[in-house]
Structure 1
C-alpha cells in the first residue's frame, strides 16, 4: 500500500494500530511524526471503512493542517476520497465552527468576533481604569498586582487565562474554596466587557465549546480523534479530546495522540507536559509506541541532548538512533562575558561560510529571549554577515497592517469600540487622555447607543465632555464622516469583491496610514500584499454556518482566529525562503524547524534558566524542568554541527556537558582535520575546495591551549606602585612569581594579569597544574627600570568656554 511505503517498523506499528482503542505515539525530535500521522489518517480512511467527516484531526497551527491535507491528497490520489471533508484544524478553528452552528444553545451572537491580543489589552486597560479601589500596596506582587500594589495588565491576563485553561468559568471559580475576591471582581468585569462587544477570547472559545459538548451531542458519527503536538495541550484541551471521542456511542473513546513530553515548552500558555500521564489514568488500557529512529541529527547531537535530559524528573530514556553514518562532537565553550561569546559565534559563522560548506540560510543562532540577540547582531554586523530575525513581528500585527484592519473593522462591526478607539488615537492632534475620556463615555452609554453613534453625538455637540478640546471634537467629526463614506462604498447590498477592493483603496489612502508608509517601501509592499490577498481570498469553511456574513467579515474572521502560536508560525515561514542569510531566532519560534549548523547561545545562570518564576503556574522545580525542555528543543534543531556557549557563570542546565569531558570539545573537531572535514562535506552533500588550507586557518583561529599555558597567562595588571617587587605577584602563589616572558605595561613596568583581567580578554579559567614551575620575579635593578612612575607634567592654560 502506498501509505505504508517508507515507514520503519515502529512507524508501521503505530499506523496500522486498530481503529478502536487509545494510542499514544511518543515521537522524539526528527522521528517523522508528521509522516506517521498523515499515514495513520490515510490508513483509517482506506482500510477501516471510515469516512472523512467521521474523523477529527487537531493540529497546532492552521498551516500544519493545510500541509497535512496536501500530503493526504497525494497519498489518496485516485481513491475517490474527498480530503476537504475532514474535520481538520486547530482546536480553536474546530470549536469556532461548533459555536457558530450552535450559537443559540450558548446564547451567543452567531456573528461573534474573536478578540485579538490588542483587543484584550485595551479591554484590560479600560477595566483597570474603572477599578481604582483594587490598587492596594499591602497586597503587592500577588496574582493581579505588581510590586507596588497596582493592578498589572500582564498578570490579570495570565490569571484569567489560567482559570479558563482549567475550565473554571466565573460561576465555578466563585464556588471554589480558594478563590481570590479581587481576581473574581476583575474576572467578572472582564467578562462583562467582552460580552458587550460580542467578543470571545481564545480561552472562551475552548471553554464554551466544552460546555456545549457536555450539554448536547454536536459531532455526529465521529469514529476516531487524532491529535498532533499533544505535549502542547492544556487541561481544557484534554477534556475536549475526551468529549470529542464521546460523541458517537458506537465508537466511543477512540483516540490517537502524537507528541513528545520532552518538547513541551508552552507552560506559560497553559500547556501541561503531564497530559500523557493524565491520559493513561483516564484510559488504563491505552497503549504506547515509541519512535526511536531519528532522521534529522547526528548521533553526537542526540547523545548530548539525551545527556541534558537525564536530570529531568520522572522521565523514561529515549536513546534515539541517528540514521547518519558519520557523527561529529558538539562544541561547548564558556566565556568571561557576553561580548566574547558573541565574537566567538560571529567568527565561527564567518569561517564556516568562507569554506562554502553550507549556505548562510543553513545556519541558525538560537537564544532564550529576544533581548539576547542584540549583542550577537552587533558582532555579525562587524563581520559583515547578513542575518534575519526569525521571530519578528507577525505580519498582521505590523503597525500599518493593524491600523488598516482596524479601519476595515469599524466599517462592518458597529459594536467594536476597541478598533474605533485605536483608529481615533491614530489621528494627529488627539492624545491618550482624550481617547480615554471618549472610551469611558462609550462604556457608560454602550447599552443604549452604538460606539459610532456616540462618536457622532460628540462631534455634533449632543454629548459634551469636560475639558475636551475643539480640535478633538473636529477629529471625531472627520472620523465619523470617513466611516460613513466607507459604509456607502461597502455595505450588505454592495458586498462583492469589487466593492471590497474599492473600500481597501479608499481606506489605505487615509492620512494616518499614508503617514506611516510614505517613506518606507517595505510598509508600502505590505499593503500591496494585503490587496493581492483580498483579490484571491475565499471564505474558510469555519464560517460557512453563518450565511449572512459578507466577504469582508469572512476576511476579518480569518485574521481574528490566528492564535498566538499561529502568529509565530505565520512569521516563521519566511525562513523557508531561499534568502542567503543567517537566522537568529528565539527557541520557541524555532520549534519544528531545523538547520545544518546551530548555535545555542546564552547558557548563563540567571538568563537560561531565567530567574523569573510565575507563582501562578510554576514552582521553582517545574521552572527548571521547563527550561531544560526548552534547551532540549534548541539542541535538537541541529542536523550536523552543534555549538553550545555560555558567558560568566555556566547554567546548571549544561552541568553534565562540563562534567562529561568526552561529550563536548572546545573547538569543532570536524573542521580541525582534513579527513573529518571531507566526511562532513560528503554527508552534507557539498564539496569544499582546499580543505588543507581551511583546516590550517581554523587551527590558527583556535589554537590548543594547555593548562600549563593558562598558568603562565594569568597576569595581573600593575600600574602605580611604590616598588617593582611589590608590583609583581601571582594571585595563587606564595611569594613573588611571574612568567618568564611577562609583558611590559605602562611606563615600562611588568604587566601581570589577574583573574579579573583574564576575564576581560576571555581566557577560560583552568586549575593551576601542580607541576607548574614558579618563576622568580626580576628586581627593578636587573630590569634597569625606575622604581616609580615618572610624574606627569601639569600644563597650565585658560579654560575656554563653549561657544
Structure 2
C-alpha cells in the first residue's frame, strides 16, 4: 500500500485510495489530509493499475497546488526507480483546469482559427480591454443610436451611480463595472450567452387568482382581529382595499396600478403573528408580479437594448483579443468546450480524471469535466463547507449534487471526517456552532469533524481553554475597533511572551512542546479594511507583523505620487496627474503656480473667466514658461529645471525598464533625502524601495502596462501591506484575509472584527446560473422598480452571500491548530446594532445572552468560562477588555487639544492662506471637461437654489454664515439686528432692506433657540467656520466646517443650510447634502484621526436638524462618487 511515511491512512482514507467505483466523490473535511489521499491515489493509478502519467488529468485549483502535488508524486516515485515514469511526469497534466484547456487549444489552433502563438492575458489586461471595448460601443451608439442611450439613462437604474451620469453616455465607472461583472458571470455560467437578459413572464389571470387567495386569507384574519395590534389592523385593512381594487381592474387598464401597489405595499413592518405568512406571500410574490404588469413594455424595450449592448460588446471585445493574439480565461473554457463538443477536432486522450477542490469549480468548468468524464473514471475531492469563491462564480451546489448523486450512479461518496490539524476542543466548538447553523441548509451537508491527531499531554498554565472570546467596547464603532485591536495585540503578546502557553512541535526536532514564536500566529479578517486597526495596535506594542493583504501601501502619498508620475509619463497632456507630480515633494510647485501654468494670467489679469478662454495643458504651460536663464526661485526657472528631468524620462520611457525610470526620478529629485528628513520618513523610504522592487518583479512590462496593472491591483483591493520591517529570528505575525489563508494553518489563529458584515454585491444587474441576468428599472421620479426576475434573483444572491459568509467563518476557524481566539467589539450606539456579522452567528448558535457578554457587572473581573443561557459551559474562555485594563499600554490621544472654547478657527491652519487659489479650485480647473468635478461635492454652492440672491449679487447664505460666525451663543435679538445691519452693509454694499433683515432674524432665532445650539453652547470645546484641507483619492479638498462641538460621545459637525425646502420631501437634495457633509467628516478624520460622532444638516429657514449617516456603507458610497 502506498501511503504517507509519517501517518498511516485511516480506514476511510484507505477506501478512497483503493476504490474502483466510478464516480468517486471524496467529501474531505478541513485538515483531513485530502492532498495526501490525492497523491496516494495518483501513485496507485501509476504503480498498481498501469496508467501512464500523460493520460491522467489531475486538475488543481491553483498553480501552487499543482506544483506541490507534482513534487510529492516525484518524491515518492524516486523510491520506485521507474525512470520512464519519472520522465513522463515532467509533462504530465498535473495542472489547473485552465492550463489543461490551454493544452487542448494549442493542439488545435489551426482548426480553431486561433493564432498558434496566442498568449493568455492577465486579469489587469482583460479589464483594460473590456473597458475600452465598452467605451467604443458607447461611442458608436452615441453617433448611430442615441435613442438607445437615452432610454438607458431614463429607465435603467444603477442605484447611486445615476449621479455620475454626466455627458453623453451612461458609461460611468459604476455602470461599466456592474455591466462587465454581469458579462463575466454569464460567460462562467455557460448559459444564455446569446441573450442573457430573459423576457418577463406576465400572467394576469394567475396573478388575479393569487391576489384573490391572499384577500381571502386577510378577510379571515381580520374577521377575528382580537390578537392583532391596532397598527396591524390598519395596515392589513389598507392592503385589503388594494387587493379588492386590483381584482376589479382589467388587464389592459394600468391607470389604477400606482394606487393599488401603494395600498398593498402598506402590509409591511412589524406585524402581529397571524399576518406574517400572508405578508411574506404578498411582498415576495404578488407585488413583484404587479410591477411586472405595469412595466412590462418598458422592461422589454430596455431588455432588447441591453442584449444588443451585450452582443455588440462581445464582438468588439473578441475582435480586440484576436488582433492582439490573446485569450482570456473564459476564452480557454469556452474554446475547450467547443473542441470537446466537436467531432471534427482532435480530442485529448484522458484515461482517468482526478479533481482537487472540486467545490470551487464554476458551471463552465463542470461542463468540461463532465464532457471529459463520459467514458473515463472520475475521482473528485472537495468540501462544500469550504466553498468560499462565489465571487469567482464557483457553484457549490454542483459539487453538493455530485456528492449526493454519486451512489445513485453506481459510484461512491466517501467522507473524510478525521481532522489531523486541530485540537479536539477547537473542533468541538466548530461542530457545535455549525451543526446549529447548517441544520436547515440545502447547500451544505454538514460533516462533523473528529480529532485525528492526538496531542501529547502537557502542563502549561493555559492548557484548559483552546478557544476564547475577546470582547471590547468603545464609544463609537471606530473606537470600539481600535480597542478591540489593542485588546487582541495585548493578548497575543501575553501568549507569545508570557511563558504560560506552549505549542506542540510536531517535527520532534527539539522537545514535544516549546514556547510560541511570532510566526506561530495568524490574524484573520473578513475584509482588508480591518487590517489597519491590527497593524497599528501591533506596532504600538512592537509586535512584528506582516500584512499580506491590506490597505496602506497604495494609499500612501509617496506611492500615489509615483503612480501619478507613471500616468504623466504615459500622457503628458494628463494635467491632473501632472499636477499631482508638480505638487509632490519632487516638484515642490504651489497651487498658485499651477493656476499660472494652466492659464495665461498675464493676458487675463483679472483672473479666470467663466469661459476659461486661455486654458492650456499644464505641460504646455511648463514649456511656454520655462526659462533656464531666469532667477533661481522664479516659476520660469523651476519649470525649466522640472522639464529637464521630466523630458529626459519621457524620451527614455520606451527604452529603459520602469525601475530605472523611477530610480532616476527618485535620485535626481532627492526624494529619499526629503522623506528621511520628515517625521516617520523611514517607513516612507522603505515604501519607495518596495515600489522599486515591485517594478523589478515585472521587468518585462512597459511603464504604461505596469501602471495599469498597479491601478487594477488598487482598484480591486488586492492590496500590498506596508513595507515590512526586517525579520527577527522569531519571524512575524501574519495578518491576512480569510481568502488569503485558504490552505494555511497555524498553532495560534485569531479572528478579528467579527462584528463586520459585508455589503451585498447586488447592484444594477444581477445574475443567476439558472435564470440568466436581470436589471433594475427606475420610474419617472427615479425611484427603484424591482420587477419579479430582479427581485427573486437579488434574494437568491443575498441568500448565497449569507451562506458563503458562514462558510468563510468555518474556513477561518478551522485554520487553528492549538489556540483559537474570536475577537469582537461593541460600541455604545445601541445593543441591537452589535448583533451583526460572524459575532451574531456565534452568539445565536452558542445560545449566548447579550447582556451576559457585555454588561460589566454580570461577572467578576478576570477571564471566566463562557456559560450559555442554559447555564452550560460552552468550552470557551471569555476575556473582556474592560476587565483587563491593567494589560494595556497607554496610547496617545489623537483628538484635538483646545484649551478653551473658541469662536473662530486658528489662523492659517490647516489651509494655505498665502496662496490665492485653493486646492479645490485647482482640482476643478485641472479636471477634464467631461469629468465630475470634486467641487460639486465639497463647495458650499454646489446645489442650485441653495442661496437666494440679494440686490448686489452676494448671497443670503454667505451673509448667514458670517452672522453665525460673529454672533456669540447667548446673544439677544438686539445684537442680532446690529450684527445683521453691520455685516450686511459690508457684504452687499448697502444697508439690507427690512424684509431681508427680518428673514435673517427668523433664521438666527431658529438656530440659537434649537437643541443643536444649546448643546454647542454647553460644550467644552467648539469651533466655527473651521477650515480643513485634506486629500482623498489623490485629490486635494478644502472647505470650511460651519460648526463643530465636542461632547462625551465625540465631536459633532454641523452644516448650515438656508434652503427653502421641505426636508421631508426633498430626498435628492438631502442626499447631495449628505454626501457633502460626509466628505467634511472624512476631512475631520484626516485631521484628528477619527470620524466625528455625529453629522447634522441644520436648515435655518425651518429650524429642522437632519442627521447624516456615517456607517461604513454610507461612507463608501460617498467615496465612490469621487472620480479616480
Query: Shorter-chain-normalised TM-score: which range?
Result: 0.5 to 0.7
Counterparts of 2:55 and 2:553, CA distance in 1: 35
CA shift for structure 1 position 161: 0.9
CA shift for structure 1 position 155: 1.2
The answer for the alignment partner of 2:425 in structure 1 is 300
Q: Secondary structure at the match of 1:625?
A: helix
CA shift for structure 1 position 329: 4.4
- 1:657 maps to which of 830, 839, 842: 842
Q: Secondary structure at the match of 2:736?
A: strand
CA shift for structure 1 position 333: 3.8
The answer for the alignment partner of 1:724 in structure 2 is none
CA shift for structure 1 position 635: 0.8
Contact 1:334–1:645 (Cα < 8 Å) also in 2: yes
Counterparts of 1:370 and 1:46, CA distance in 2: 46
Distance 1:144 1:381, change over 3 A: closer
- 1:701 maps to which of 842, 859, 884: 884
Q: What are the Cα deviations for residues 503-544 of structure 1, in whole angstroms up to 9, with x where unaligned?
A: xxx53575356436884567657867987999xxxxxxxxxx
The answer for the alignment partner of 2:355 in structure 1 is 227
- 1:332 maps to which of 452, 462, 469: 469
Q: What are the Cα deviations for residues 618-638 of structure 1, in whole angstroms up to 9, with x where unaligned?
A: 522222111100111111111
The answer for the alignment partner of 1:55 in structure 2 is 56
Contact 2:525–2:737 (Cα < 8 Å) also in 1: yes
Contact 1:139–1:145 (Cα < 8 Å) also in 2: no
Q: Does 1:355 align with 2:355?
A: no
Matches within 5 A, 1:504-519: 506-507=656-657, 510-512=660-662, 514-515=664-665, 519=672
Q: Does 1:161 align with 2:184?
A: yes
- 1:321 maps to which of 450, 463, 473: 450
CA shift for structure 1 position 340: 2.4
CA shift for structure 1 position 17: 1.2
TM-score by length of 2: 0.46
Counterparts of 1:256 and 1:121, CA distance in 2: 35
Distance 1:392 1:95, change over 3 A: farther
Q: Secondary structure at the match of 2:90?
A: helix
CA shift for structure 1 position 49: 0.9
What CA RMSD, in Å, does the superposition of the two structures yield over aligned residues?
A: 5.2
Counterparts of 1:516 and 1:211, CA distance in 2: 51
Distance 1:636 1:432, change over 3 A: farther
Structure 1 unaligned regions, length at least 5: 247-251, 407-420, 436-465, 487-505, 535-550, 674-695, 705-745, 748-755, 761-803
Aligned residues: 593
Contact 1:227–1:256 (Cα < 8 Å) also in 2: yes
Q: Does 1:119 align with 2:120?
A: no
Distance 1:373 1:527, change over 3 A: closer
Q: What are the Cα deviations for residues 286-343 of structure 1, in whole angstroms up to 9, with x where unaligned?
A: 3111011111111222222223323231243322111234773422244332222222
Contact 1:368–1:587 (Cα < 8 Å) also in 2: yes
Q: What are the Cα deviations for residues 772-799 of structure 1, in whole angstroms up to 9, with x where unaligned?
A: xxxxxxxxxxxxxxxxxxxxxxxxxxxx
Q: Secondary structure at the match of 2:522?
A: strand
The answer for the alignment partner of 1:621 in structure 2 is 799
Distance 1:254 1:186, change over 3 A: same
Counterparts of 1:656 and 1:701, CA distance in 2: 25
Q: Secondary structure at the match of 1:640?
A: strand
Q: Secondary structure at the match of 1:85?
A: coil
Contact 1:31–1:294 (Cα < 8 Å) also in 2: yes
Counterparts of 2:815 and 2:686, CA distance in 1: 34
Contact 1:424–1:476 (Cα < 8 Å) also in 2: no
Q: Secondary structure at the match of 2:446?
A: coil
The answer for the alignment partner of 1:3 in structure 2 is 3
Contact 1:334–1:650 (Cα < 8 Å) also in 2: no
Q: Does 1:595 align with 2:742?
A: no
Matches within 5 A, 1:20-35: 21-35=22-36
Contact 2:98–2:329 (Cα < 8 Å) also in 1: yes
Counterparts of 1:332 and 1:262, CA distance in 2: 23
Counterparts of 1:672 and 1:430, CA distance in 2: 63
Which range moved further: 138-147 or 223-232? 138-147
Higher relative contact order, chain-length normalized (CA < 8 Å, sep 6+):
1
TM-score by length of 1: 0.63
Contact 2:386–2:808 (Cα < 8 Å) also in 1: yes
Q: Secondary structure at the match of 1:138?
A: helix
CA shift for structure 1 position 141: 4.1
Contact 1:333–1:666 (Cα < 8 Å) also in 2: no
CA shift for structure 1 position 594: 1.0
Q: What are the Cα deviations for residues 184-230 of structure 1, in whole angstroms up to 9, with x where unaligned?
A: 44444433333333332222221221112212454543111111111
The answer for the alignment partner of 1:138 in structure 2 is 154
Counterparts of 2:90 and 2:727, CA distance in 1: 26
Distance 1:168 1:2, change over 3 A: closer
The answer for the alignment partner of 1:547 in structure 2 is none
Counterparts of 1:434 and 1:316, CA distance in 2: 53
Distance 1:478 1:91, change over 3 A: farther
Contact 2:549–2:720 (Cα < 8 Å) also in 1: no
The answer for the alignment partner of 2:437 in structure 1 is 311
Structure 2 unaligned regions, length at least 5: 143-148, 201-302, 458-463, 474-479, 502-515, 579-614, 624-642, 673-684, 769-795, 827-833, 855-861, 865-878, 888-1018, 1021-1046, 1052-1124
Contact 1:389–1:585 (Cα < 8 Å) also in 2: yes
CA shift for structure 1 position 35: 0.8
The answer for the alignment partner of 1:608 in structure 2 is 757
- 1:243 maps to which of 368, 371, 388: 371
Distance 1:422 1:17, change over 3 A: farther
Q: Secondary structure at the match of 1:426?
A: helix
Q: Secondary structure at the match of 1:616?
A: strand
CA shift for structure 1 position 278: 3.7
Counterparts of 1:35 and 1:21, CA distance in 2: 20
Counterparts of 2:496 and 2:92, CA distance in 1: 45
Counterparts of 1:92 and 1:164, CA distance in 2: 14
Q: Does 1:95 align with 2:81?
A: no
CA shift for structure 1 position 100: 2.4
CA shift for structure 1 position 354: 1.7
The answer for the alignment partner of 1:44 in structure 2 is 45
